[in-house]
Chain A
Amino acid sequence: MAEEIIRLENVTVAFDGETVLDKINFAVYEKDCVGIIGPNGSGKTTLLRLILGLVAPDSGRVSILGMAPEKGRRFVGYVPQFIEFDKTFPISVWEFAMLGRLPGSPLARRFNDADRRKTEEALRRVDLLHLRDRQLGVLSGGERQRAYIARALASDPKVLLMDEPTANIDEKMERGFYDLLAELRKEIAVILVSHDISIITVNVDKIACLNKQLFMHLPSEINDEVLEKTYKCPVEMLAHGVPHRVLKEHEHGGGR
């Protein structure tokens, strides 16, 4: 049986009395590729933060490889949403990817050859090794995303957790990203979180629709009804640019 990587049991989270996540049950097994989609405000960020141990559930249980998130998160390779950071910050691509070696490492430990090998491997993986001495702030959007993936991979994760991975890259880079993803998911579990339903055009194994509550689907089950339930508005408003493999065309058409 496949090893269970992440498990959420009956997890409820409320902020100031308002329920953000309602009795979520969710499990990810090794080499699973799961897409989590939901509109803004559906609790995606909170779900991510639960897994990363940055938010505690009000009830229910979160575990990573059977451990509490604070311990288990070192096995989660977190690729945050494209964030604006200080472009002048003095850090090179190499130093940045090296930070992926910090999880699980005692304070003040010196990096050794094994750390350097892992980092080198991760950068080669995302085809960024030739830019290792470049300042992180001068990378293009696509290169930066690959740097973030390299940092996550350097930590030898069991699962890659990606927040809005396609939000800020253009179509051409998106193809490169999907190719890389196809490679990675052969080895580790991948969770893609997005408000953009086009993410499900990735060949994911399972799709979770999140809107306070979470429903798991097989990709073949995803249809307008499911999406409309999640997004609470007609899918056509969301579906612009989405290949029709997933969403059948509406008769009244009109594009967006």
Chain B
Amino acid sequence: MLDFLGYEFMRNALMAGVLASVICGIVGTLVVIRRIVSLSGSVSHSAFGGIGLGYYLGVNPLHGALVFSIASAIGIGAVSKYAKEREDTVIGMFWAAGMAIGILAIGLTPGYAPDLFGYLFGSIISVPASDLLLILALDLFVIGTVALLYKEMMAVAFDEEYATVSGLPVKFLYYLTLVLVAITIVALIRIVGIILAIALLTIPAAISGKLTHDMRKMMVLSIVLSIALITTGLWMSFILDIESGATIIILSAVSYAVMTAALRIRARGKPQST
């Protein structure tokens, strides 16, 4: 079972999985408790615009995605929340417009975009060392930010009005959360691709949320679950010779369903529990 670790690309893949899981667990928890899952889905898909521009400008598409998704995250937040436009309309627009920009840019780029499919659906077994370093840097940024502003993030997530009355910079913290989402998406592109990233961002946190009522524990548990899901999915895809990104996502969704069903059955056993 462990023979797949004999390959260097597999060790790199696992390293990428662990590094991405750290961000994914922390930010996924914030996304789930703030209920900004579809907003995050929009940020994720619009990151494709950055990938396309990366190709067009001849820079690392991941760098393009980082800049572009941070910009679109702030854009979505500003338009939906503070320009008082309907949030779900704005989310849908950014979702498609970002992808459209990516498609145009790739169309304008001479030649063939070699690993386009990998950016869309993940290519964890071909992560170059430079991308590992990028994900590591993103890890440090996310850990540092959330460690410093943990209670402030909790306060705004729980009740924005009270946070405002408490004198917290609510807008800044909102945009900062969206920037963290954008960063997470970029870290997940290599693992599952931009199309599937939203599932890996939210499923571990959604499962942990059912198991603990402590935000810190929820973050840690999400990280552990995310590592477990990525590793298991990767191993399954290896022995079955199927797409790794899609395997990880399906495994995650099935885990969520099984966990939810198991908890319901257990709750039915004890009629008093709520």
Flag if B215 contacts A78 (CB, 8 Å). no
> Which residues of chain A from 73 to 123 have any CB-CB distance to chain B below 8 Å in the complex?
73-74, 76, 78, 80, 85-86, 88-92, 95-96, 98-99, 102-104, 107-108, 111
Flag if B151 contacts A111 (CB, 8 Å). yes
Say which one of B118-126, B165-173, B234-242, B262-270 lies at the interface with A. B165-173
Give complex CA distance A19, B13 in Å: 64
Instruction: Output the nearest chain B residue to A108 by Cβ-Cβ distance.
Output: B148
Flag if B33 contacts A80 (CB, 8 Å). no
Of B164, B166, B169, B215, which one neighbours A91 at CB under 8 angstroms? B215
Flag if A85 contacts B168 (CB, 8 Å). no
Of A54, A73, A91, A96, which one neighbours B167 at CB under 8 angstroms? A73
- Shortest distance in angstroms between B160's beta carbon and chain A's nearest beta carbon? 11
Of the listed residues B157, B163, B165, B213, the one surrounded by the most CB atoms of chain A closer than 10 A to its CB is B165
Give complex CA distance A88, B214 in Å: 10
B157: chain A residues at CB < 8 Å are 89
Interface residues as binary, B142-185 with A (CB distance below 8 Å gives 1, 0 otherwise): 00000011011011011101111111110000000000000000
- The reply to whether the CB of B218 lies closer than 8 angstroms to some CB of chain A is yes
- The reply to whether the CB of A201 lies closer than 8 angstroms to some CB of chain B is no
Flag if A102 contacts B167 (CB, 8 Å). yes
Give complex CA distance A69, B166 in Å: 11
B215: chain A residues at CB < 8 Å are 90-91, 95
Flag if B165 contacts A91 (CB, 8 Å). no
- Shortest distance in angstroms between B235's beta carbon and chain A's nearest beta carbon? 31
Q: Using a Cβ–Cβ cut-off of 8 Å, how many residues does chain B contribute to the interface with A?
A: 28
> Which residues of chain A from 49 to 81 have any CB-CB distance to chain B below 8 Å in the complex?
52-54, 70, 73-74, 76, 78, 80
Flag if A108 contacts B162 (CB, 8 Å). no
Flag if B167 contacts A74 (CB, 8 Å). yes
Flag if B167 contacts A90 (CB, 8 Å). no
- The reply to whether the CB of A198 lies closer than 8 angstroms to some CB of chain B is no
- The reply to whether the CB of B60 lies closer than 8 angstroms to some CB of chain A is no
Flag if B166 contacts A99 (CB, 8 Å). yes
A98: chain B residues at CB < 8 Å are 151
Give complex CA distance A85, B158 in Å: 8
Tell me the dominant secondary structure on chain B's binding face.
helix
- The reply to whether the CB of B209 lies closer than 8 angstroms to some CB of chain A is yes
With A53-B165, A90-B33, A92-B214 already in contact, the answer to whether A102 and B149 are too (CB < 8 A) is no
- The reply to whether the CB of A135 lies closer than 8 angstroms to some CB of chain B is yes
- The reply to whether the CB of B212 lies closer than 8 angstroms to some CB of chain A is yes
- The reply to whether the CB of A167 lies closer than 8 angstroms to some CB of chain B is no
Flag if A107 contacts B209 (CB, 8 Å). no
With A85-B159, A99-B151 already in contact, the answer to whether A92 and B164 are too (CB < 8 A) is no
Instruction: Output the nearest chain A residue to B152 by Cβ-Cβ distance.
Output: A107
- The reply to whether the CB of B89 lies closer than 8 angstroms to some CB of chain A is no
Flag if B162 contacts A89 (CB, 8 Å). no
Give complex CA distance A88, B32 in Å: 11
- The reply to whether the CB of A226 lies closer than 8 angstroms to some CB of chain B is no
Give complex CA distance A104, B167 in Å: 7
With A90-B214, A107-B169, A138-B274 already in contact, the answer to whether A102 and B33 are too (CB < 8 A) is no
Flag if A54 contacts B148 (CB, 8 Å). no
A111: chain B residues at CB < 8 Å are 151
Flag if B209 contacts A102 (CB, 8 Å). no
B163: chain A residues at CB < 8 Å are 102
Flag if B158 contacts A103 (CB, 8 Å). no
B162: chain A residues at CB < 8 Å are 78, 80, 99
A91: chain B residues at CB < 8 Å are 154, 158, 213, 215
B209: chain A residues at CB < 8 Å are 88, 90
Give complex CA distance A90, B212 in Å: 8
Give complex CA distance A131, B112 in Å: 63
Give complex CA distance A99, B215 in Å: 14
With A103-B166, A104-B167, A107-B169 already in contact, the answer to whether A90 and B213 are too (CB < 8 A) is yes
> Which residues of chain A from 188 to 228 have any CB-CB distance to chain B below 8 Å in the complex?
none
B167: chain A residues at CB < 8 Å are 70, 73-74, 102-104
Give the B-binding residues of A (Cβ under 8 A): 52-54, 70, 73-74, 76, 78, 80, 85-86, 88-92, 95-96, 98-99, 102-104, 107-108, 111, 135, 137-138
Give the A-binding residues of B (Cβ under 8 A): 29, 33, 35, 148-149, 151-152, 154-155, 157-159, 161-169, 209, 212-215, 218, 274
Q: A89-B33, A102-B163 are in contact. List 15 more A-B contacts (CB 8 A).
A: A54-B161, A54-B165, A70-B167, A74-B167, A78-B165, A88-B209, A89-B158, A90-B214, A91-B215, A99-B155, A102-B152, A102-B168, A103-B166, A108-B152, A111-B151
